[in-house]
């Protein structure tokens, strides 16, 4: 048995262990929309609708691996995704983040909850 076969077997075993743990206690990720007028408009079993600084709501399809997506908070700026598979949950979060990626100069976009946002400084003024 080569090193590659042994490493591949360990990776598969770890993935199966992760799936089993996700069925017992689902994995959760919280997304937060930052910006004026940005909010999650609605969620159902297959889609997420969000207003993200565009003239129309952005509609994103959810994969079957994500069990639930529910908005939290009064203003509808926080969304919790939960599911049994951590890899597909991260993939869905990346799809959600691509709808409005975090800005570099202003704190606008989709962030992970409790994620630090580093903003660049603007243009320097000459004296």
**Higher-confidence residue: 7 or 115?**
7
Q: Cα–Cα distance between 50 and 56 in angstroms, integer?
A: 9
Q: Is the pLDDT of residue 92 over 90?
A: no
Domains of the chain by residue range:
26-112
Find, among 29, 82, 76, the residue nearest to 57 by Cα: 76
If pLDDT is split at 50, 70 and 90, which confidence band does 127 have?
Answer: low
If pLDDT is split at 50, 70 and 90, which confidence band does 8 have?
Answer: very high
**Higher-confidence residue: 32 or 64?**
32
Task: Extract the tokens encoding 59.
Answer: 């509609």
| DSSP label at residue 81 | E
The CATH T-level fold of domain 26-112 is: Outer Surface Protein A; domain 3 (3.90.930)
Indicate the average pLDDT of the chain: 82
Yes or no: say if 57 and 41 are a contact pair by the CB < 8 Å rule.
Answer: yes
């Amino acid at each position: 048995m080569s090193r590659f076969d042994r490493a591949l077997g360990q990776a598969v075993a770890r993935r199966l262990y992760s799936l089993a743990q996700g069925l017992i206690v689902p994995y959760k990720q919280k997304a937060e929309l930052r910006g004026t007028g940005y909010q999650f408009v609605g969620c159902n079993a297959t889609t997420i609708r969000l207003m993200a600084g565009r003239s129309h709501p952005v509609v994103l399809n959810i994969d079957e691996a994500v069990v639930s997506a529910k908005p939290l908070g009064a203003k509808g700026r926080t969304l919790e995704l939960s599911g049994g598979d951590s890899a597909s949950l991260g993939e869905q979060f990346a799809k959600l983040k691509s709808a409005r990626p975090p800005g570099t100069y202003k704190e606008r976009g989709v962030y992970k909850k409790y994620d630090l946002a580093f903003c660049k400084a603007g243009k320097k003024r000459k004296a």
